[in-house]
Amino acid sequence: MKFHNFIFSKEPAYRLERHFAFWLGVFFYHCMRLSILFPADHLRENITPIIIGSLTWGVFTNMIISYITVYFLVPNFFLKKRFTQFITYLLLLFVIATAFGLTLTLINRPLNNSISSAAKPLSYIPIRAAVIRILGNPPLICLLLLSLKKIKDWYIKQNENRVLIRENSNAELLLLKARVHPHFLFNTLNNIYFFILSEPVKAKNLVAKLENLLYYMINECNVPLVPLAKEITMINDYFELEKVRYDNIDIELKILGDDTNKMIAPLLMIPFIENSFKHGTSKMLREPWIKLFLQIDTDMLYFTLTNNKPADAVATKETGIGLNNVKKRLALLHPKDHYLAIKPTPNSFTVNMQIPLV
**Kind and range of the H or E run holding 256:** strand 250-256
Same domain, residue pair 156 and 251: no
Q: What is the pLDDT along the chain (358 residues), one digit of tens a residue?
A: 677 777 777 888 888 989 999 999 988 888 887 777 666 666 676 777 778 778 877 788 888 888 999 999 999 999 888 999 999 998 888 788 777 766 766 666 555 555 545 444 434 444 444 445 555 577 888 888 888 888 888 888 888 877 777 777 776 666 566 556 566 788 888 888 888 888 899 899 999 999 999 899 888 988 889 999 999 999 999 999 988 888 788 999 999 999 999 999 998 999 899 888 887 777 777 888 999 999 999 999 999 999 988 876 654 444 456 677 788 888 888 888 999 999 988 889 999 999 999 9
Same domain, residue pair 258 and 155: no
Same domain, residue pair 120 and 10: yes
Q: Show contacts of 181-190: CB within 8 Å, 24+ apart.
A: 181/214, 181/217, 183/274, 183/278, 184/238, 184/241, 184/242, 184/245, 184/274, 184/277, 185/210, 187/245, 188/241, 188/244, 188/245
Q: Give domain status of residue 177, yes or no.
A: no
pLDDT at 179: 59
Q: Give domain status of residue 339, yes or no.
A: yes
Q: Inter-axis angle of helices 126-198 and 12-35, to 10 degrees?
A: 150
pLDDT at 257: 95
Where does a domain end: 104, 131, 161? 161
Transcribe 43-62 into DSSP letters: TGGGHHHHHHHIIIIIIIIH
Same domain, residue pair 155 and 19: yes
Same domain, residue pair 304 and 155: no
How far is 247 from 252, CA to CA, in rounded Å? 14
Same domain, residue pair 18 and 142: yes
pLDDT at 313: 60
What is the DSSP-derived secondary structure letter of residue 316? P
pLDDT at 122: 37
How far is 265 from 228, CA to CA, in rounded Å? 9
Same domain, residue pair 147 and 261: no
Euclidean distance between the first and the last CA atom of the chain, given in angstroms as a whole number: 27
Domain count, the chain: 2
Q: Give domain status of residue 315, yes or no.
A: yes
Q: Is 213 exposed, middle or buried (0-12, 13-18, 19+ CB in 10 A)?
A: buried
Is the Cβ–Cβ distance between 32 and 147 less than 8 Å?
no
Same domain, residue pair 156 and 276: no
CATH number at residue 300: 3.30.565.10
Where does a domain end: 146, 161, 176? 161
Is the Cβ–Cβ distance between 352 and 341 less than 8 Å?
yes
Q: Give domain status of residue 198, yes or no.
A: no
Q: In what order do the strands lie in the sheet with 348-356?
A: 250-256, 289-296, 300-308, 348-356, 339-344
Same domain, residue pair 134 and 18: yes
How far is 241 from 160, CA to CA, in rounded Å? 42
pLDDT at 340: 95
Is the Cβ–Cβ distance between 86 and 118 less than 8 Å?
no
Same domain, residue pair 36 and 145: yes
pLDDT at 124: 42
How far is 23 from 195, CA to CA, in rounded Å? 79
Same domain, residue pair 55 and 151: yes
Where does a domain end: 131, 146, 161? 161
**Kind and range of the H or E run holding 349:** strand 348-356
- The partner residues of 263 in beta bridges, in order of sequence, read 227
Q: Parallel, antiparallel, or unpaired: how do β-strands 300-308 and 250-256 relate?
A: unpaired
pLDDT at 178: 54
What's the domain range around 138? 2-161
Q: Give domain status of residue 50, yes or no.
A: yes
Q: Give domain status of residue 301, yes or no.
A: yes
Q: Give domain status of residue 77, yes or no.
A: yes
**Kind and range of the H or E run holding 264:** strand 263-264
Q: Give domain status of residue 173, yes or no.
A: no
How far is 236 from 303, CA to CA, in rounded Å? 15
Same domain, residue pair 7 and 132: yes
